[in-house]
Amino acid sequence: MYNKTKQVILLCLLAILLKSHRTDEGMFPLSHLKDVDFKAAGFNISQKDIYNPDGTALTDALVRLGGCTGSFVSPQGLIITNHHCVFGSVAGVSNKENDYLENGFYAADRTKELKIGLTCKITKSYEDVSIKVLDGINLNMDPVQKKEIINRNIAALTKQEQTKYPAMTIEISEMLVGYSYTLFRYQTLKDVRLVYVPPRTIGEFGGETDNWEWPKHTGDFSFVRAYVGKDGQPADYSPDNIPYTPKKHLVINPKGTKDKDLVFILGYPGATFRHEPAQFIRYQQEAVLPFISEWYGWRMQQMEELGKTDRDRYLRMASTIKSLANVKKNFEGKMFGLKQTGLLDIKKAEQEELMAKMKQANLSQPPVFFHTIDSLYELRMATAKRDLLLNRFNSDCGALSAALAISAFKQKNPVVSWTHPTFWDQWKKDAKETFKSRYKIVDVELDELTLAELIKRANTLPKKFRIKALKKIKKPGEWAHKAYSNSFLDDPALLYKLLDSVPWQVYFNRDKIQQLADKLLPDLQKISDYQTKLTDKLNEQLPLLLEAKIKYANKKFIPDANATLRFTYGYISGYKEGLNKHPEPFTYRKEIFAKNETDNADYRLSTSVRELLKQELISKDLLDHETNDLVICMLYNMDTTGGNSGSPVMDANGNLVGVNFDRAYTATLNDYSWNPDYSRSIAVDIRYVLFTMKYLNHADNLLSEMGIHLD
């Protein structure tokens, strides 16, 4: 039976340490808001104004929108988020005749709002379920067995909660590996419609040139609206649905903020890795980051070439290009930040100091987990190039991914099952379910080029790491072209049609791609199983390292971000002199024209946007009182990461003053460590949002809905 006393002691230690240490670092879970001294920090509101399980608070205005964050800004379900958070949805409803991605979109009334494929989740409540999740765990248990018990307990708890709250979405999140688990109850709204998107030369001004950079002049904002059924309950899309009435919506401060002011964010940061050992940082720095950065660069280059002469084709790939570019530069920034801060050496020194303190404590048993972690990562590093490359076969090649899924199904179903009366119906159902999550053809020619390139690279690995099924392919380009020319696996519509009409034809298919998948699957499974075992063994050691840090290192422990609702605060703050070419914390309208004068296409302005920015008759509320110019973006030292895109930036009174959309290049390091000099995040200033809506589209109906009335 799991040692419950040990769990209670650990949680008490965590609480003590969190109270004893405070810097501007911290993505605080709602359960840790009590550890923030709101008055000393400069807030004019209290903890209960932010989260109040017994009443209404700012968290009730927050939504998880896809992989981003959004917030309600009106009683009629209007949500503000980032332009890049709805980029794929906008591309999906755009074409040459109605290019909303390029020209923007404004629904002058609700009948013109467009249905998009986004859903939003609202956090309704949470509960610590660590004791229940870890019930039945023995601390000396085999890691695979422990993982199975934890997964079984999570599944049982989720099912139990889902029965109790059938209208809710139930998720159990791991807060600290092997120790702490929290159950979240979400309300999910499935009918989300596009309301307002600025033109691309506003919403994406600066493009990849300015991505992850400061200074920035991007109007990265958009609006969507959530709808429910006539009974007020969540429902799928219907023209009869009505706008959702949120429990709380944010009040906008049209006067914005100023240097040194306190600001805070609520949002759903995706993932951080701050409690990982030094060996993890080395693995990232030397293997993962350089490989993914280079590979994504290659993929982007192919897509840009394929879309050069076909706008519709480019639009189909635009969202993927943007996503790859975003990750590529993020990873490059991480490599830069790791080098500049020497984080690997810092982590090594911390672990050596921890080992020394534990030795001084005269423990009855030596802390062998240090050696175990080191040896496991040595094994991971030894096969890193092979493993990272082979992972792309299943994730980046749609046709091969489908074929591998078919191979896996055949592997689990012996020949005798073919004659079973329900076999083919079950096969169709399982295949479609698998394809839904794994099978995607962005572009057929790109798929073909990608598979050829991966085969080519796999055959240049050191001989002991090469895969037998691939070594026989001497001319990958020619092989791939023939394979794709004689396959239905590269055509989703045809594949699904065959599944419905003649499912056995798909099952017994023996084209080149399927034959490769059949041969490749055992090798991929073997490698995957090996990596899973390494991960399980590492996850068995990490709680021991965590416990040692708590007992001997006197460090603050806030759970790593995991896409659950978090709070972070800081101050409007520029860079120290010498760390950035633009140390000031604000950018202005006049600077946009300076960028536009260059030949860089990322700084282009459409005619309508150029005229907008020349607008002289502007409400005084929107102008900065010191410069008498329009503020575009702002910089602050809050602790943010991926998933905070779209998070509302609020002032000391809890009013909306901006929308978080990026980190500076130096702050991509935040995933591994927060740094007072380098960690800076970026928001579009609310004054630029209101200016664009007022003077470009004359969207007074939306402004009025948000309680904004400009002179």
**Measured CA angle at 372 (ends 370, 378), to 5 deg:** 105
User: Strand 631-636 to strand 28-29: parallel, antiparallel, or no bridges (unpaired)?
Assistant: unpaired
C-alpha to C-alpha distances, 299 to 9, 192, 291, 295, 540, nearest whole angstrom: 49, 31, 12, 6, 36
Give the tokens for residue 578: 């010498």
**Measured CA angle at 321 (ends 216, 315), to 5 deg:** 105
Best CA proximity match to 688, nearest among 647, 636, 633, 635: 633
User: What is the C-alpha separation between 372 and 350, in angstroms, rounded?
Assistant: 17
Give the pLDDT mean for 478-486.
97
C-alpha to C-alpha distances, 139 to 135, 147, 374, nearest whole angstrom: 11, 12, 21
2 pLDDT higher than 90: no
State the Cα torsion 200-205-211-214 to the nearest 10°. -150
308 burial level (CB within 10 Å; 0-12, 13-18, 19+): exposed
195 backbone dihedrals φ, ψ, rounded to 5°: -115, -45
Give the tokens for residue 209: 């040139």
> In 3-state terms, what secondary structure has residue 128?
strand
- What pLDDT score was predicted for residue 8? 47
Provide, rounded to the nearest whole percent, the portion of the chain with pLDDT above 70.
95
Peptide bond before residue 215 is cis, with ω within 30 degrees of 0: yes
Quickly list H helices, 134-233. 143-164, 200-203, 207-210
Q: What is the pLDDT of residues 240-295, one digit of tens each?
A: 999 999 999 999 999 999 999 999 999 999 999 998 999 999 999 999 999 999 99
According to DSSP, the residues that pair with 252 across neighbouring strands are 656
Give the tokens for residue 53: 């399980």
According to DSSP, the residues that pair with 660 across neighbouring strands are 683
* Confidence grade of residue 418 (pLDDT, cut at 50, 70, 90): low
CATH architecture of 566-697: Beta Barrel (2.40)
Q: What is the pLDDT of residues 608-665, one digit of tens each?
A: 999 999 988 899 999 998 999 999 999 999 999 999 999 999 999 999 999 999 999 9
Give the pLDDT mean for 104-126.
95
C-alpha to C-alpha distances, 520 to 400, 401, 436, nearest whole angstrom: 10, 11, 22
Q: What is the pLDDT of residues 174-233, one digit of tens each?
A: 988 778 899 999 999 999 999 999 999 999 999 989 999 999 999 999 999 999 999 999
* Cβ–Cβ under 8 Å, residues 453 and 533: no
User: What is the C-alpha separation between 633 and 615, in angstroms, rounded?
Assistant: 18
Of 12-26, 424-438, 575-589, where does mean pLDDT reach its minimum?
Answer: 12-26
* Cβ–Cβ under 8 Å, residues 216 and 585: no
Q: What does pLDDT average to over the chain?
A: 91
The amino acid present at 438, given as its one-letter code, is R
DSSP state of 681: E
User: What is the C-alpha separation between 590 and 595, in angstroms, rounded?
Assistant: 9
- What pLDDT score was predicted for residue 416? 56
